[in-house]
Amino acid sequence: MSTQSSTNIEPLHRQRIKGREILVTEDPRLHLVWIHDRIFIKPIPRYLLSHRSWEDFLLPKPPVRGTRQENAQRAAAGYLRSYCYLIQHESDFDIAKQDHLRLVPRHVELSRLNFYAPFLFGKFNFQKPHGQYSDYFARFYGPLLFAFAVASTVLSSLQVEMASVCRWTSTLILVATVLIALGVWLLWLWLFCDECLYALKRRARKRREILSHSDC
């Protein structure tokens, strides 16, 4: 688990030391989310650096607690607060200019967000980093091969000790292997059906929008 602290913000030169490639994204959900050797950064909008914008939109009057204006003020203030943590040296500022970035706040690992997405966000993935099924299922190869290797080692050791116990163990391992293979196939089928359902919903929504515009 990462350090749960608002000051746990690593400067840009530390991202380079860790071998992470800085990728610009306009999706605010992916802002400072990292996975493996990539980190996604959304540039700070120009209006947050404009005094006129703060006077006209963000600070026109004392906000009411829990309102949309108060939430926007807190989000903008927290966004700008992280400047002093991210740009700590001249080298960080040079990296920010080189990559055409503004100063950015704390980052979160994308793989953790995808792992907790079913429990926290009610959906299968927070963001899909893979565009192909082969890339998606490739991440299961390592753990599955490790599990099969351990099971094979345990089975081989039991063959030397007790033949009767080994027979039951072999049956259990065979059943587990079939269940795992069935689970992977069902996962692929679920992903395929989910994408088809999403495409059909998008098409139906677009058709309704066209009909509504035609009625007008």
pLDDT in tens, 115-165: 677 777 777 677 766 666 666 667 677 777 777 777 777 667 666 555 555
* The predicted structure's pLDDT at residue 7: 66
In a domain, 127, yes or no: no
Q: Do both 116 and 162 map to the same domain?
A: no
DSSP code, position 1 = -
Q: Do both 109 and 146 map to the same domain?
A: no
Q: Do both 27 and 114 map to the same domain?
A: yes
In a domain, 205, yes or no: yes
Q: Do both 69 and 161 map to the same domain?
A: no
Range in 14-18, 21-25, 61-65, 82-86 the model is least confident about: 61-65
Query: Where is pLDDT greater, at 150 or 102?
Result: 150
* The predicted structure's pLDDT at residue 209: 79
In a domain, 151, yes or no: yes
Residue-wise DSSP of 156-176: HHHHHH-HHHHHHHHHHHHHH
* The predicted structure's pLDDT at residue 169: 67
* The predicted structure's pLDDT at residue 101: 55
Q: Do both 156 and 189 map to the same domain?
A: yes
Please say which residue of 120, 146, 178 terminates a domain: 120
Decide if pLDDT at 105 tops 50.
no
Q: Do both 177 and 116 map to the same domain?
A: no
Find the domain containing 48 and state its range. 12-120
Query: Where is pLDDT greater, at 99 or 204?
Result: 204
Calculate the CA dihedral of residues 29, 30, 35, 39 and round it to 10 degrees.
Answer: -150
Please say which residue of 120, 151, 172 terminates a domain: 120
* The predicted structure's pLDDT at residue 106: 44
Decide if pLDDT at 72 tops 50.
yes
Q: Do both 114 and 151 map to the same domain?
A: no
Our count of domains for the chain comes to: 2
Range in 6-10, 64-68, 128-132, 140-144 the model is least confident about: 128-132
* The predicted structure's pLDDT at residue 107: 53
In a domain, 5, yes or no: no
| Other beta carbons within 10 Å of 33 | 24
Calculate the CA dihedral of residues 118, 122, 123, 124 and round it to 10 degrees.
Answer: 20
In a domain, 1, yes or no: no
Q: Do both 107 and 169 map to the same domain?
A: no
The residue written with tokens 């000051």 in the block is: 7
Average pLDDT over residues 98-111: 55
Does residue 35 contact residue 18 with C-beta atoms inside 8 Å? Answer: no
In a domain, 29, yes or no: yes
Rounded to a whole number, what is the distance in angstroms from the first to the last CA of the chain? Answer: 54
Q: Do both 174 and 209 map to the same domain?
A: yes
* The predicted structure's pLDDT at residue 104: 40
In a domain, 6, yes or no: no
Structure tokens at 161: 């000790």
Q: Do both 21 and 58 map to the same domain?
A: yes
* The predicted structure's pLDDT at residue 26: 81
Please say which residue of 120, 153, 175 terminates a domain: 120
Of the candidates 33, 23, 9, the residue with the CA atom closest to the CA atom of residue 127 = 33
Highest mean pLDDT among 62-71, 107-116, 130-139: 62-71
The residue written with tokens 């007790």 in the block is: 162
Q: Do both 149 and 55 map to the same domain?
A: no
* The predicted structure's pLDDT at residue 88: 83
Q: Do both 161 and 92 map to the same domain?
A: no
pTM: 0.47
The residue written with tokens 């006129």 in the block is: 52
